[in-house]
């Protein structure tokens, strides 16, 4: 059976399962099966990261400097096979990961898991750097060059070419879930967040009853408003104009967009923390206490101290995975397009991703939320109205929060930045709006490439065009979708992508160890 036939069978099976059991069955990947209440996904992700870290001798520490040097262009060779230089490959991968997870994902983790969830995001990132190194090095090793001279790589090629043809079914499963995930995680979630953020801004400026914001219903089943429809059309046009140009145009756009958006966000976060520097120590105390003595007031708590702790851990790891995609295998698709003849070299570059994404940017978001006191919405109700900062402070002083609206996701981060930058101006939330626009758009652009490669693997090069058309349509759909359904299916797809990738890492760790030793033993400084 060839890849095309296997692909059709895969999607037919997924459609049948969705029809028969609904998305709820897929959601259980994060909760069932479990060992003593700890989900198997958590055990697999963290366990594989720890195993690979030990077997490879902590590469996230030993080879970090080398990765920085490679990214800076010290070893670039334009004659090497590939489509992107090392910097472009990293920014393409970062553009897919530095996004909603850094803004809404951190807020959601604290919302459901309390401040301690941030600690588990760090743990996921630390061991995730090894997973990034492993999956990206292997993807370079086992990539292919298609008929047009472009690279085709990722865990599906690693599984089939590295583990053998008998494992092709696992490669097909990864590619199939990668396509599904590109529509949900990389696409619909991003466009929804943009639409939701702009809707919030529009309501503040024009009111909920304005004709742009008023909810409408078609045939009693389809709810929409004009503002969301317009946002969906504009966003679909912007994303489409880039992705239809292929990987080189994607690399060019993300090469500029990723650094700009990172600088804006890091600078703004730093300003907030400078003003609230006296609260930083307290914030780390909240994180520490939230790990070992989690508060019972967080939204996701219930079932006693142990269950509360497990909830905190699960939320941190889930959002950590969504933030940096470590172990998922998606970033390996971008890095496999790098111009290099040395797989280990690009693996070292890939390790920088979780450091930048989670250790730096997610930490900044978490500290802003904690230092400004915005996290207290897990105990009280606050709103993001124009007077919300004063309202919040007054309510805090009298311990009365009745009647206020609960906020979550990017709106919570907006509230934190508005409060944190109020000493400069009263428009800190607009920075989050801008960041959401840049982050989510770049993520949607980069994820289209992941879907491209997975589509080519299953259905051939001719199917890529139709994949891109459907992808653009999903950008519009996401802007008008339900957040619950989008997040649920996105989380499920992430989980099902992860298992085949983790299996390939475990299976090929020995070969990876040999490749690493040979590269760093044989005078890599002289390699062109």
- Domain ranges in the chain? 39-512
Question: What are the E-state strand segments in 179-256?
Answer: 216-218, 222-224
Rg (CA), the chain: 22
Please tell me the number of Cα atoms within 13 Å of 515 on its side-chain side.
23
Yes or no: is domain 39-512 CATH 1.20.1740.10? yes
What's 303's DSSP letter? S
- Residue 34's beta-bridge partner residues? 39
Closest to 185 measured CA to CA, from 90, 362, 43, 321: 321
**Token pair for 516:** 């690493």
Tally of residues, the chain: 528
Residue with tokens 């992941």: 450
| Model confidence, pTM | 0.81
Asked if omega into 33 is within 30° of 0 (cis), the reply is yes
**Token pair for 4:** 């095309």
Q: CA-to-CA distance for 462 and 202, rounded, in angstroms?
A: 41
Q: CA-to-CA distance for 332 and 354, rounded, in angstroms?
A: 13
Cβ atoms 41, 498 nearer than 8 A:
yes
pLDDT value for 483: 60
Please tell me the number of Cα atoms within 13 Å of 402 on its side-chain side.
2
Residue with tokens 């639409």: 195
Give first-to-last CA distance, the chain, whole Å. 41
Cβ atoms 400, 357 nearer than 8 A:
no
* Mean pLDDT per 10-residue interval, the chain, length 528 residues: 84 79 65 59 83 92 91 83 83 75 78 82 88 93 81 90 91 91 82 78 74 66 74 86 74 70 86 92 87 59 56 71 76 88 91 88 90 68 43 51 51 82 82 80 84 90 90 86 65 79 92 90 60
Cβ atoms 46, 123 nearer than 8 A:
yes
User: For helices 428-459 and 409-420, what crossing angle results, to 10°?
Assistant: 150
pLDDT value for 135: 93
């Amino acid at each position: 059976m060839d890849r095309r036939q296997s692909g059709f069978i895969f999607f037919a099976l997924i459609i049948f399962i969705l029809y028969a059991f609904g998305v709820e069955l897929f959601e259980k990947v994060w909760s069932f099966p479990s060992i003593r209440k700890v989900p198997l996904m958590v055990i697999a992700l963290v366990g594989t990261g720890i195993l690979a870290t030990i077997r490879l001798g902590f590469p996230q520490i030993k080879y970090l400097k080398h990765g920085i040097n490679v990214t800076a262009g010290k070893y670039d060779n334009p004659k090497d096979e590939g489509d992107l230089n090392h910097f472009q490959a990293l920014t393409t991968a970062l553009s897919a990961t530095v996004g909603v997870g850094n803004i809404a994902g951190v807020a959601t983790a604290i919302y459901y898991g309390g401040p301690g969830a941030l600690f588990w995001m760090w743990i996921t990132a630390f061991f995730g750097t090894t997973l990034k190194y492993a999956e990206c090095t292997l993807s370079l090793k086992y990539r292919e060059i298609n008929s047009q001279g472009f690279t085709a790589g990722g865990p599906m090629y690693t599984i089939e070419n590295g583990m053998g043809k008998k494992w092709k079914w696992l490669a097909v499963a990864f590619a199939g879930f990668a396509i599904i995930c590109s529509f949900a995680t990389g696409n619909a979630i991003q466009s929804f967040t943009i639409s939701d953020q702009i809707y919030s801004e529009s309501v503040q400026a024009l009111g909920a009853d304005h004709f742009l914001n008023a909810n409408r219903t078609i045939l009693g089943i389809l709810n929409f408003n004009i503002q969301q429809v317009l946002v969906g059309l504009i966003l679909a046009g912007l994303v489409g104009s880039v992705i239809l140009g292929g990987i080189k145009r994607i690399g060019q756009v993300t090469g500029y967009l990723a650094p700009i958006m990172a600088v804006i966000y890091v600078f703004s976060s730093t300003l907030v923390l400078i003003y609230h520097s006296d609260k930083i120590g307290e914030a780390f105390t909240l994180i520490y206490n939230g790990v070992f003595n989690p508060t019972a007031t967080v939204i996701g708590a219930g079932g006693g101290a142990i269950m509360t702790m497990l909830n905190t851990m699960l939320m941190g790891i889930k959002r950590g995975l969504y933030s940096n995609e470590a172990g998922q295998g998606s970033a390996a698709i971008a890095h496999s397009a790098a111009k290099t003849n040395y797989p280990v070299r690009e693996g070292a570059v890939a390790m920088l991703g979780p450091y930048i994404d989670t250790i730096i940017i997610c930490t900044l978001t978490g500290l802003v939320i904690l230092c400004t006191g915005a996290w207290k919405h897990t105990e009280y109700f606050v709103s993001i109205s124009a007077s919300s900062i004063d309202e919040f402070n007054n309510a805090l002083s009298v311990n009365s929060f009745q009647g206020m609206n609960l906020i979550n996701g990017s709106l919570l981060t907006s509230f934190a930045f508005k409060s944190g930058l109020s000493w400069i101006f009263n428009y800190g939330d607009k920075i989050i709006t801008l960041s959401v626009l840049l982050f989510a758009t770049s993520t949607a652009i980069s994820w289209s490439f992941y879907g491209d490669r997975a589509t080519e693997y299953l259905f051939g090069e001719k199917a890529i065009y139709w994949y891109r058309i459907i992808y653009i349509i999903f950008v519009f759909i996401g802007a008008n979708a339900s957040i619950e359904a989008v997040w649920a299916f996105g989380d499920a797809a992430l989980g099902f992508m992860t298992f085949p990738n983790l299996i390939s890492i475990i299976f090929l760790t020995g070969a990876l160890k040999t490749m690493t030793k040979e590269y760093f033993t044989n005078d890599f400084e002289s390699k062109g």
